[in-house]
């Protein structure tokens, strides 16, 4: 039996793969530059209207809690000043770039400081659809390129589009399954927790804390579904099962890998914020974030492949390739 790779070896393999096939890095870098150069999206008018509605509702009911109302107003005002492009991109499967605060629209020569303000619900829904229609195909291409890099395949494969269609359909399937599970299971539990919060604040906080813990663990157990789709060429159900089995059989190794990845990501985000005080620094932050993110994405696929190989040798699960 071949010696198992350590987490550091897996990270190194991921970055070596990106060095051999820099197309994925270039794709993320261009995407990050687009975030820097285009105007941010704000729902400030919608949040202001919602704040006014809550204020009128509280006044009509006679249940006025000035402290709670001021906190809600402050929260809605902060959300109105937040760039929502990445928050709306629920179908994004690429590494997230924390845009420096100066950056939205700052590099655009004709619309520096401009903000795309959404003032109606139909416009908000249209914005959500457009953003996801843009980022999802780009994300599928990114997954395909990273998978080819880890596999050592050429960038321009003969059946590239066929592979992309399979990956895209399977990723959509996983998203649909998880969304359905959240609607059927998550929303009822959230409603119960809200009722408990209204009856007893302590019980409500405990209920919401429990829901948060469950969500975190579910994300850990199904978090390698995309890697299973790319590396094992399986469908959504088999990808979810493969991810669950992988984590169940390697729980502490997975947790260690995820914690180290999170530490690298959060630590470098501080650096990108510090660099984002100038145009040149923003571009450097976009490149650095692309490099870190693409390398970690490749390392996740290398981690999945290594742990799958180990489980296959132990005859726990069979690879899908």
Pick the more confident residue, 173 or 118.
Answer: 173
213 in a structural domain? yes
Asked if 257 and 6 touch (Cβ cutoff 8 Å), the reply is no
Asked if 31 and 57 touch (Cβ cutoff 8 Å), the reply is no
Give dist(CA 213, CA 207) in Å, integer: 10
30 in a structural domain? no
Residue-range definition of the domain harbouring residue 172: 7-23+137-313
Q: What is the pLDDT of residue 227?
A: 96
Pick the more confident residue, 230 or 52.
Answer: 230
Q: What is the mean pLDDT of residues 291-316?
A: 87
Mean pLDDT, the chain, rounded, equals: 85
Q: What is the pLDDT of residue 109?
A: 38
157 in a structural domain? yes
Angle at 126 between CA 56 and CA 182, to 5 degrees: 75
What confidence category does residue 64 fall into, taking pLDDT thresholds of 50, 70 and 90?
low
59 in a structural domain? no
121 in a structural domain? no
Joined together, the tokens standing for residue 21 give 């096939």
307 in a structural domain? yes
pTM for the structure as a whole = 0.85
H or E, element range at 235:
none
176 in a structural domain? yes
Give dist(CA 283, CA 272) in Å, integer: 10
The fraction of the chain above a pLDDT of 90, given in percent, is: 50
- The tens digit of pLDDT for each residue in 243-273 reads 999 999 999 999 999 999 999 999 998 888 8
Q: What is the mean pLDDT of residues 164-191?
A: 93
160 in a structural domain? yes
Q: How many domains does the chain have?
A: 1
């Amino acid at each position: 039996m071949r010696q198992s790779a350590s987490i550091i070896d897996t990270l190194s393999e991921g970055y070596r793969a990106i060095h051999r096939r820099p197309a994925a890095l270039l794709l993320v870098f261009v995407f990050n530059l687009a975030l820097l150069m285009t105007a941010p999206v704000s729902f400030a008018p919608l949040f202001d209207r919602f704040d006014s509605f809550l204020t009128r509702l509280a006044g009509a009911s006679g249940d006025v809690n000035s402290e709670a109302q001021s906190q809600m107003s402050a929260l809605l005002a902060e959300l109105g000043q937040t760039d929502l492009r990445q928050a709306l991109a629920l179908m994004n499967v690429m590494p997230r770039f924390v845009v420096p605060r100066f950056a939205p629209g700052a590099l655009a020569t004709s619309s520096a400081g401009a903000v795309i303000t959404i003032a109606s619900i139909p416009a908000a829904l249209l914005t959500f659809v457009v953003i996801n229609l843009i980022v999802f195909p780009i994300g599928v291409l990114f997954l395909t390129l990273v998978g080819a890099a880890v596999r050592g395949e050429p960038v321009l494969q003969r059946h590239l589009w066929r592979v992309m269609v399979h990956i895209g359909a399977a990723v959509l399937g996983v998203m649909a399954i998880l969304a359905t599970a959240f609607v059927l299971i998550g929303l009822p539990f959230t409603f119960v927790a809200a009722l408990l919060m209204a009856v007893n604040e302590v019980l409500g906080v405990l209920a919401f804390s429990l829901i948060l813990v469950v969500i975190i663990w579910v994300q850990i157990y199904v978090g390698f579904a995309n890697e299973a789709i790319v590396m094992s060429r399986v469908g959504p159900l088999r990808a979810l099962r493969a991810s669950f089995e992988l984590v169940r059989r390697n729980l502490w190794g997975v947790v260690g890998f995820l914690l180290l990845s999170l530490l690298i990501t959060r630590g470098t985000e501080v650096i990108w914020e510090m660099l984002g005080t100038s145009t040149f620094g923003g571009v450097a932050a976009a490149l650095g974030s692309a490099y870190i993110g693409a390398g970690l994405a490749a390392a996740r696929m290398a981690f999945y492949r290594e742990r799958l190989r180990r489980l296959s040798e132990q005859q726990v699960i069979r690879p899908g390739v």
